[in-house]
Structure 1
Amino acid sequence: MCSHYEAPTATQLEQAFAAAPYEQGKLDLWPGYMGPFLRNRDEPIEPDESQLEVLVGSFGLIPGWSKDTKIARRTYNARSETVAEKPSYRSAWKYAHHCIIPAAAIYEPDWRSGKAIATRIERSDGEPMGIAGLWERWKNPEGETVHSYTMLTVNADDHEFMRNYHRPEDEKRMVVILPKGLYKDWLAAPANESMEFMRRYPADRLAVR
């Protein structure tokens, strides 16, 4: 699971994802904070335009039925095994609201010393991660649209790298980090193909910095 991560700078995001510039906010992100995510545009595009767009939303999915944004503190990660059933996520999953959450690094607690040590984890090649996620839109009491997103996760009990994080007695989880070659496929995939992308990123492609 991941409740703390570092977003790339706007320049890094533009270089890694060929995404249009956006107004950069905080880079150190926790549930409820506003961060960037990428999705395919809803509206038709011109021939020379990118299908990809960058939006800023709440880290933590806010379903349409929610009364306020507080739910984001609990919906920042979605278990891929149950995402289709959980009320908070099932609409976004059903309608394939696929997105990519760009991350320069994620932070996980290492308990091997007997106490939690926050550990910064990156891709070993230094490129930003593209984390598979779901996005949603919500109307606040003023009628304004608020976007939000959640990171999808898979079991990592026997993952050579990620099994070292979180409490020893807890199930080990990890976010779904997409290979770069699957970015377009994930964003365009229909709902009945979503589970095909729920794979564990290779351990040798992750590193601690």
Structure 2
Amino acid sequence: MCSHYEGVRDAQVLRKVFQVEPPADLGKTDLWPGYPGLLIRRPGEKDAGDDAVPDREALPGLFGLVPHWATILKICRSTYNVRSETVVTKPSFREAWKRAQHCIIPAQAIYEPDWRNGKAIPTCIERSDGLPMGIAGLWSSWRSLQGDWVHSYAMLTTNADTHPLMNQFHKPTDEKRMVVVLPGSVYDEWLVATAERSEQFLVPVAAEGLRVGMCKTL
């Protein structure tokens, strides 16, 4: 699971790697549940057939999905990760999954606790090629009592018990989990995939595609 990651705040990187025009507010760099970050999704106008609309848009959003029925934003502190095995049934996520509200979460790196020496050592993990990760996620929109709209998102995760790298993290007694890191070649496919096709994208990235990085101290 991932509760801490480094966001991408370089506008040029977002344009080049994710092919989106960045919003004015890129959110925080050091992200924890409830913090403002960035999500990439397919614009609704594109689905309506407007060819002038780009295939992807980048929006500010809270890290932690806020379902439409929530009464307070604080729920996002416990809805930042989605288990791919139970996303269909979990009340907080099942509507976004059914509606295929897919997004990509740009991350320069994620941080996981290494417990192999008996203590939680925060460890930076990044792509082996140094490019930002595109993490598979779900997004939602929530309307406050004042009428304000808030976007939010959560990262999809999968089992990592046998993953050569990601099975080294978290407590020895815990199930090993990892976020779904999408290959760049399937970004558009993921954003337009139906709920029925979604599961085929939720696979662990190869170990050689990741490395323990020398990330900056946040």
TM bracket (short chain): over 0.9
Secondary structure of 2:41's counterpart equals strand
Q: Which runs of 4+ in 1 moved over 6 A?
A: none
AA at the equivalent of 1:113: N
* 1:99-178 mapped onto 2 (5 Å cutoff): 99-178=103-182
C-alpha separation in 2, matches of 1:51 and 1:20: 11
What corresponds to 1:37 in structure 2?
Answer: 39
Q: % of aligned pairs identical?
A: 56
After superposition, give the CA deviation of every residue in 1:23-78 in whole Å (9 maximum; x if it has no partner).
Answer: 22211100000100100000147545421000111100000000010110000000
What corresponds to 1:88 in structure 2?
Answer: 92
* C-alpha contact (below 8 Å) 2:161/2:177 kept by paired residues: yes
User: Once the 2 structures are TM-superposed, how far is the Cα of residue 18 of structure 1 from its aligned partner?
Assistant: 1.2
Deviates more, 1:50-59 or 1:4-13: 4-13
Residue of 179, 186, 195 corresponding to 1:182: 186
Root-mean-square deviation (Å): 1.1
Structure 1 residue 199 corresponds to structure 2 residue 203: yes
C-alpha separation in 2, matches of 1:25 and 1:78: 22
Secondary structure of 1:141's counterpart equals coil
TM superposition score normalised by structure 1: 0.97
How many residues in Structure 1 have an aligned counterpart in Structure 2?
209
AA at the equivalent of 2:92: S
User: Once the 2 structures are TM-superposed, how far is the Cα of residue 11 of structure 1 from its aligned partner?
Assistant: 2.5
Residue of 79, 82, 97 corresponding to 2:83: 79
C-alpha separation in 2, matches of 1:84 and 1:194: 11
Which segments of 5 or more consecutive residues in structure 2 lack a partner in the other structure? 214-218
TM superposition score normalised by structure 2: 0.93
C-alpha separation in 1, matches of 2:100 and 2:53: 23
What corresponds to 2:216 in structure 1?
Answer: none
